[in-house]
Amino acid sequence: MKLGRYFYKNKIFFGIVKEDKILEIENPFNLTSYTEKEYKLKEVKILFPILPSKIIAVGLNYRDHAKELGMKIPDEPIIFLKPSTAVIGPEEYIILPPESKEINYEGELAIVIGKTIYRPKNFKEIESAILGYTCFNDVTARDLQRKDGQWTRSKSFNTFAPIGPFIETELDPSNLKIETKVNGKIKQSSSTKEFIFDVFYLVKFISNIMTLYPGDIIATGTPPGVGELKEGDIVEVSIENVGVLKNFVKRF
């Protein structure tokens, strides 16, 4: 089931995709809260599917990426935060800031939290806290990351967190093909079977540190093939059975 957020005739609403229609729902965390309203998918603008209170991102979580970089497999997830002000939706512009000369794409699978969770006691609690999965692009100012020696500034510019187009609520995340294309050329290609830490481990690990609220996002790390974005580029993150997140690139 694909959940999304849409704009139509000055109205923003959530809805479930059913064939070529959108069935409006009142509450994105209650997928049975249908209204009687329907819209044609081609008539609505697809927005970012959820606005999180926080984005927790994971570094170096693909074995093939660690191998590419010649880095040791981490013993625990390496996490950092991105602000909600960085979020944009599909077919919006990634803005390259004047402070950086080296902006990278990082295609990722994102976990969307559906229930408040803190220090879960069992696997069932972890599983039930996940609303679904979506595509994510962890845009990064790589030169600033190297310069600063930590990641906050490089990851936090406005437009540096494209999300969407939909949240897939019925999905086995253990072996999904993930690709990133720039101007139609494949730059990243891997599978979530290469994860060092799977999605359930990440939810447990992170929720033992901080409370996760409905709508919060965990970006699960990027596969090998990270590279630069330039003005005029079109970048697409595609994940099997989830969808394609397409964005354009321009300078500030």
**Contact status, residue 214 vs residue 131, Cβ threshold 8 Å:** yes
Structure confidence at residue 155 (pLDDT): 98
**Contact status, residue 113 vs residue 131, Cβ threshold 8 Å:** yes
pTM tops 0.75, yes or no: yes
Structure confidence at residue 71 (pLDDT): 86
Structure confidence at residue 14 (pLDDT): 98
DSSP state of 117: B
Exposure of 190 by Cβ count < 10 A (0-12 exposed, 13-18 middle, 19+ buried)?
Answer: buried
Beta carbons within 10 angstroms of residue 250's beta carbon: 13
Instruction: Write the DSSP string, 38-105.
Output: EEEGGGSEEE-S---S-EEEEES-BHHHHHHHT-PPPSS-EEEEE-GGGEE-TTPEEEE-TT-S-EEE
Q: Give me 80's structure tokens.
A: 């950092």
Report the distance separating Cα 22 and Cα 2, nearest Å: 10
Structure confidence at residue 6 (pLDDT): 98
Strands 227-228 and 185-191: unpaired
Residue found under tokens 């891997």:
190
Structure confidence at residue 139 (pLDDT): 98
Structural domains of the chain in order of their starting residue, each with its CATH number: 2-47 (2.30.30.370), 55-251 (3.90.850.10)
**Contact status, residue 150 vs residue 127, Cβ threshold 8 Å:** no
Beta carbons within 10 angstroms of residue 187's beta carbon: 19
Report the distance separating Cα 13 and Cα 47, nearest Å: 10
What average pLDDT values come out for the chain (252 residues) when binned by 10 residues? 96 96 96 94 97 96 90 94 98 98 98 98 97 98 96 97 98 97 98 97 98 98 97 98 98 96
Separation of first and last alpha carbons in the chain? 37
Structure confidence at residue 222 (pLDDT): 97
